[in-house]
């Protein structure tokens, strides 16, 4: 079951292929928690070089996927969200625990630690089949799309 599908996500996030790393949102508690899904397929662009004979999703892209899910949670709070852009500003306590490979369903759970008008701080956990693959605290600054400045 999906709360937000790909089209609804693209109405909120500025990211597009090949860098949109969330396929759907399946749980949402405004200002509190969100869960997204990324279906990992062999045709992902990053598998061409990481690694062709033993494809593994880069950990930094798992964190980027968490950040995108968190950005959906944050941007939903802005009436003028089409004029906003989330800028990654910090990653803390990042850990990579298990490889993610083609065919995996990556479940991305993000919990708000602070939702503000400019700065968002969240904790993300990525899982495959219930097993943690990556986790981190992430922070972003919400900027104006035209100027790139935090407003």
Q: Based on the residue annotation, tell me whether 50 is a catalytic residue of this protein.
A: yes
What the block records as the tokens of 15 is: 């990211």
Contact 57, 46 (CB under 8 A): yes
> Please, what sign has the CA dihedral across residues 13, 141, 35, 31?
negative
Contact 122, 73 (CB under 8 A): yes
- Name the active-site residue from 15, 45, 50, 98: 50
What the block records as the tokens of 62 is: 């798992």
Pairing of strands 119-128, 105-115: antiparallel
What is the enclosing helix (H) or strand (E) of 124?
A: strand 119-128
Residues taking part in catalysis = 50
């Amino acid at each position: 079951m999906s709360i937000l599908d790909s089209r609804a996500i693209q109405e909120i996030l500025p990211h597009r292929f090949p860098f949109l790393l969330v396929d759907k949102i399946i749980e949402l508690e405004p200002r509190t928690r969100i869960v997204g899904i990324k279906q990992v397929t062999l045709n992902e662009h990053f598998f061409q070089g990481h690694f062709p004979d033993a494809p593994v999703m880069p950990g930094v892209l798992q964190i980027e996927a968490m950040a995108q899910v968190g950005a959906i949670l944050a941007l939903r709070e802005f009436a003028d969200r089409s004029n906003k852009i989330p800028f990654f500003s910090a990653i803390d306590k990042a850990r990579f625990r298990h490889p993610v490979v083609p065919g995996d369903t990556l479940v991305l759970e993000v919990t708000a630690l602070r939702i503000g008008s400019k700065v968002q701080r969240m904790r993300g956990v990525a899982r495959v089949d219930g097993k943690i693959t990556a986790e981190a605290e992430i922070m972003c600054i919400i900027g104006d799309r035209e100027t790139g400045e935090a407003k």
